[in-house]
Amino acid sequence: MNKVLKTGKILIPKDADLSKWSVVACDQYTSQPEYWDAVSEYVGDAPSTLHITLPEIYLEGDDVAQRIESINANMQKYIDTNLFKEIAGKYIYVERTQRDGVVRHGLMGVVDLEEYDYRKGSQTAIRATEGTVLERIPPRVRVRENASLELPHIMLLIDDRDLTVIEPLFTEKENFEIAYDFTLMQDSGSIRGYIVDDKAQARIDAAIAALADKDTFCKKYSVGDDKGVLLFAVGDGNHSLATAKECYERIKAKIGDEAKDHPARYALVEVTNVHDKALEFEPIHRVVFDVDPEKMMADLAKFYELGDEGQGFVAVIGDEKREIFVKNAPTNLAVGTLQKFIDEYLEKNGGRVDYIHGDDVVEELSKVPTNIGFLLPPMEKEELFPTVILDGALPRKTFSMGHAYDKRFYLEARKISR
């Protein structure tokens, strides 16, 4: 029996303009205020997830408390004005057409946070794929702790090599009711959702249960019984899921056993097969702000032994690109090696780092004389599950599943308060 992923009570706006309602995940375009200005102008006062989420570009602003208060008030207003229709006891099958026309496939459901632990070395069925930055959780808790709704950009990955869970839905969808079908803003493609029928739902649950079988898991990854079954790896929204977990644990501390029936015990997610042909792992690059780029490069040469071979990445200063090879790399991935240096450099010298999707954005930001960019190589997606199982979480911000404009948009909602 599948006990980790379940159907839930999913909320979709009834009559709203969904192109204005649906907004990209809050952790995108964090160094591009012009993007969010354009979104705000396009949305205006229309019902929108822009009004009930907090883009991270505003997370450190002086008015963040007022923004959170407004978010909570808007959530309650949307509930009180019967904005939503409820799809209860059903999965939603999602077809996300990306900007390039390629379709990514997913399945909306809820997961039990009792089956999730983001700490390194966790053996739970749901695990983080990257190191969780604990100091990033409290600001997000302030957004969620008094919220009446959750709107996820969380994507969980399954390692379904035989294509048993989601792929059969490609043809089964002919029997499903369409939940939504519209074009996404900012030239970000389109999305269509189908309400999964009972027959397909039973097949999905059986297929997930088969993936969770302990003997099958051990043979698949050539591991012993000491390894817990990794069923879902967090592909996107790691800190959002960690925040949901933290809020649920606080509720448990307050109300004890009653928490087992609390809606906050569960989190709404989209599940995607890591073998989906549309799914590509893009590197997450770095741009360091408010530093002397040449000093940083000189310190890098002192920090590591550099040469003509080894772990490679590219430094971008102005219009110049410099190939860097680290001979004495302390980690298995270039991203971990670079991050170790950046963290120590910033601690001693000041400045800040941002995590950037897209070479072009890095190159543009690196033209500022006090900025320096670093372009990182991609990680092969087939390496993800074996690496997390054997080595634990990857360095933070190791990979991104596609370009910023192809990320999961906020769309479906779910009540998390009583």
Predicted TM-score of the model (pTM): 0.85
Contact yes or no for 128/399 (Cβ under 8 A): no
- CA proximity to 238, closest of 139, 116, 95, 356: 116
How does residue 216 score in pLDDT terms, banded at 50, 70 and 90? very high
How does residue 373 score in pLDDT terms, banded at 50, 70 and 90? very high
* Residue 329 and residue 184 share a domain: no
* Residue 129 and residue 151 share a domain: yes
Contact yes or no for 116/245 (Cβ under 8 A): yes
Contact yes or no for 193/93 (Cβ under 8 A): yes
* Residue 192 and residue 72 share a domain: yes
* Residue 290 and residue 215 share a domain: no
pLDDT digit string (tens) for 49-103? 999 999 999 988 899 999 999 999 999 999 999 999 999 999 999 999 999 999 9
Helices and strands counted in the chain (H then E): 12, 23
Torsion angle, CA of 338/343/344/347, rounded to 10 degrees? 150
* Residue 221 and residue 140 share a domain: yes
- Give the pLDDT score at 320: 97
Domain count of the chain? 2
- Answer whether residue 345 is part of any domain: yes
* Residue 185 and residue 303 share a domain: no
Average pLDDT, the chain: 94
- Answer whether residue 201 is part of any domain: yes
* Residue 274 and residue 341 share a domain: no
- Answer whether residue 383 is part of any domain: no
- Answer whether residue 392 is part of any domain: no
- Answer whether residue 384 is part of any domain: no
* Residue 228 and residue 138 share a domain: yes
- Answer whether residue 394 is part of any domain: no
- Give the pLDDT score at 249: 95
- CA proximity to 119, closest of 131, 110, 111, 102: 131
* Residue 146 and residue 189 share a domain: yes
At residue 125, does pLDDT exceed 90? yes
At residue 224, does pLDDT exceed 70? yes
* Residue 269 and residue 121 share a domain: yes
Domain boundaries, position 257: 5-280+401-415
How does residue 2 score in pLDDT terms, banded at 50, 70 and 90? low
